[in-house]
Chain A
Amino acid sequence: MTAPLIVFFVLAALAVIGAINLILQKHPIHSALSLIVVMVALAGLYLLMGAEFVAAVQIIVYGGAIMVLFVFVIMLLNAGVEEHTSLSKMAGPPGLLLVAALGAFVAATIAKSGASVQAAAQTGALSSTKGISEMVFKDFVYPFELTSFLILVAILGAVVLAQREKS
């Protein structure tokens, strides 16, 4: 077993355990912490594939900004331990069915595109900052600009909502 493979399994195990722990934990802060572990483990996986830029951005945006906001809101609301009501009868069998379907779909996608993903990782088109910025600002410039416009509208909406009504 080579060193990268060992690192991969450690990070993958961390991500899966974090994700399971996220659901099992009863306190919102513990769940949020588990989600941070998942995010950081995913960043490690990106780094392992040579996607340095994506890994850094994953930690800055998801691990840093978004999860800090989660933790901040949980602290601000002082949310306590969640109460479990009796489980819904609908959740069991249809849920399992859904999980099986989703798992099969993901497995099929990976099996089909495994080779091309590896090739993409090796060419380095996605790994270098330069490659990514060229893709974003040349090939996908319109979707990119539209997304930033959408975010701007969302920010304006947040400002309007946060403003107190004039009395």
Chain B
Amino acid sequence: MRALLATNADLVITIVKIALLLFIVLTVNAYLTWFERKVVAHIQSRWGPHRVGPHGLLQPMADGLKFFFKEDPTPAGVDKFVYFLAPLLALALALTSIAIIPFGPDPIRLFGHDIYLGIAPLNLNIGILALFAITALGVYGVALAGWSSNSKYPLLGGLRSSAQMISYELALTMSVVGVLLMAGSFNLRDIINAQASHPEWGIFGWNLWPQILGFLCFFTAAVAETNRVPFDLPEAESELVAGFHTEYASFKFAMFFIAEYTSMITVSCLCTIMFFGGWLSPFPASWTFTHYLPSVILIPFGLWVIMDGLRYETVFGRVVLPGIGTALTALGLALIVLPQFNNFIQAPFWFLSKVLVFLFIYVWMRGTLPRFRYDQLMAFGWKLLLPVSIVNVILTSFVILAKMQWGQQ
């Protein structure tokens, strides 16, 4: 047994990593729904989920249980095989794309093995291409669900989504070419490291500034690819009931739901990596005092949660909230006491903070923006995003060429 483990260590590590990442992503997904409902509610002057657990914190679990125990009818006249395949495909592809994302630069040393954060191998030289390949297949989940349901609204939703995704995929791919030209690599780790070439520039070394056009195109196209507001025409509820997943219930519906939220996370990670320096700190590298920032955020937040929790109206809340607050404060203190641990946590801390900001922007947009009309959507994608991203590619190439010309003299 021990010998078998030693010879297949990489395999075992990868399987453990996959299980762990799956658990984390599904949990984050669940709480993303809570986060979204809370933020949208506050935008609209409501309270949001409030009954199940303190501040509605147990709502995701209640929803998850509900998905499991609901009746799962199969409508008459559906194409059975494709009807069952579609949600599986959507979920599997969405989860696979997370595997390509690297979450931190340094390995953890455990049992004599360097374990890197992220499942894909370090030298995955087609990193971003592999991600685009997976997103390119992702459209089948939606399109086939719409077609196989044998119902009018899903078919319209499926048709809309395939047209939308084909159109916006072009702009999505073209808008990152500028970043790829600057990094000279498809590898996501290389792309982040290229943004660290001037450690003292901090936030001004990120791709965001030279590639601002590319970023705007990329984020817009990515929102459209994930079928979120204001591009959620495939499931426009006022026109199409629920669009492509109208005929899906129970856990099959949940699979589409999880797939959508997972692709939101992937897109946020990708924006962070391509344009916002990935795990790089926004401060110059010599400002080592900024390493205490996680503690500076965690300890006051934890204390506030304790204070707030002690005054909560239910007994359960008065126990749970101070507990969470104590854990957060303890974590913040531990980071101060253990400098080695604190240094390690810096990169993942910045990565996750940036991803969280993008997820907030997603939710913010949902609470603010109205939906596009279909012809507006098509005109926007083809007549604005695509030309602008092509102009961005040409501009970037000229600048890089000019630098090569004059740099060598």
Contacts and interface: CB of A to CB of B under 8 A. Distances in A.
A64 B129 contact: no
A7 interface: no
Interface string B137-162: 10110011011100000010011001
Given A29-B79, A59-B136, A72-B159, 8 more contacts: A29-B144, A36-B140, A56-B129, A60-B133, A64-B136, A65-B169, A68-B162, A69-B166
A71 B162 contact: yes
Contacts of B166: 65, 68-69, 72
A71 B140 contact: yes
Interface of A: 27, 29-30, 33, 36, 40, 43, 52-53, 55-57, 59-60, 63-65, 68-69, 71-72, 75-76, 78, 128-129
A129 B146 CA distance: 37
A72 B163 contact: yes
B155 A75 contact: yes
B126 interface: yes
A68 B165 contact: yes
Nearest to A53: B126
Nearest to B186: A129
A26 to B, nearest CB: 12
B136 A65 contact: yes
A63 B133 contact: yes
B391 interface: no
A113 B9 CA distance: 38
B82 A33 contact: yes
B159 A76 contact: yes
Contact of A52 (B125, B140, B162): B125
Interface of B: 79, 81-82, 85, 125-126, 129-130, 132-133, 136-137, 139-140, 143-144, 146-148, 155, 158-159, 162-163, 165-166, 169, 186
18 contacts: A27-B79, A29-B147, A36-B137, A43-B133, A52-B126, A56-B126, A56-B133, A64-B139, A64-B169, A65-B136, A65-B169, A68-B143, A68-B162, A71-B143, A71-B144, A72-B162, A75-B147, A75-B159
Tell me whether chain B's interface is mostly helix, strand or loop, or mixed: helix
Nearest to B184: A130
Contact of A128 (B125, B132, B133, B143): B125
Contacts of B159: 72, 75-76
Contacts of A52: 125-126
B189 to A, nearest CB: 15
A78 B159 CA distance: 11
Contact of B162 (A27, A33, A56, A75): A75
A85 B133 CA distance: 39
Contacts of A55: 126
A52 B130 CA distance: 9
